[in-house]
Amino acid sequence: MRWIAVLALALTACVTPVASPQDQFFARLSALCGQAFAGRLVSEDPRDADFASQPLVMHVRECSDDTVRIPLSVGENRSRTWVITRTDAGLRLKHDHRYEDGGEDALSQYGGDTIAEGSAARQAFPADAFSRQLFTERNIPASVANVWAMEIEPRRLFAYELRRPDRYFRVEFDLTRPIAAPPPPWGAKVNSF
């Protein structure tokens, strides 16, 4: 009997726990830390024409064990930062919007938490209670149904997407060609990376 206990203990020591899809996704995202990539709008909603005409650059600028901050530059506008945070239940996406002077925009910190396991390649973030209330207070009722998603195909593609009834927005970034990092996002400390 003792040899069975020893064998069981040895086998237990050899088994490496499998990372959850959310942990795998976070690891893929963290692997991009310090790099910047050019992107393009791939959805075709006419409401996004101004956005489509600007150069798009994402910069995986700040990474810790629990948070990744990704500023998005749209032309000269550096007001947007995607913030992905680990939570006890999964992952959270927030949108940190700043004015050029660094002050927080009135429409900021919206986003959501994962409610499903997702995959190592894709995570979805339905609008959380804070965001739904913010959108209601700001008279943007259509946004209450927002579901954001991010995708990572290592060494190939990063995508950010927004879906809701009658709305689809998607930008894709080419991970095969890192580019020079843009200036810091508005409100960021210059040497935070």
Alpha-carbon distance of 75 to 171, in angstroms, equals 14
Question: Does residue 189 belong to any structural domain of this protein?
Answer: no
Using DSSP's 3-state secondary structure scheme, residue 108 falls into: coil
Question: Does residue 129 belong to any structural domain of this protein?
Answer: yes
| Segments forming the whole domain that contains residue 123 | 19-179
* Number of domains forming the structure of the chain: 1
Q: What is the CATH number of the domain that holds 106?
A: 2.40.128.20
Question: Does residue 11 belong to any structural domain of this protein?
Answer: no
Per-residue model confidence as pLDDT tens digits over 106-163? 999 999 999 999 999 999 999 999 999 999 999 999 999 999 999 999 999 999 999 9
**Contact in structure between 145 and 165 (CB atoms under 8 Å):** yes
Segment (H or E) for 52: helix 49-52
Per-residue model confidence as pLDDT tens digits over 80-97? 999 999 999 999 999 999
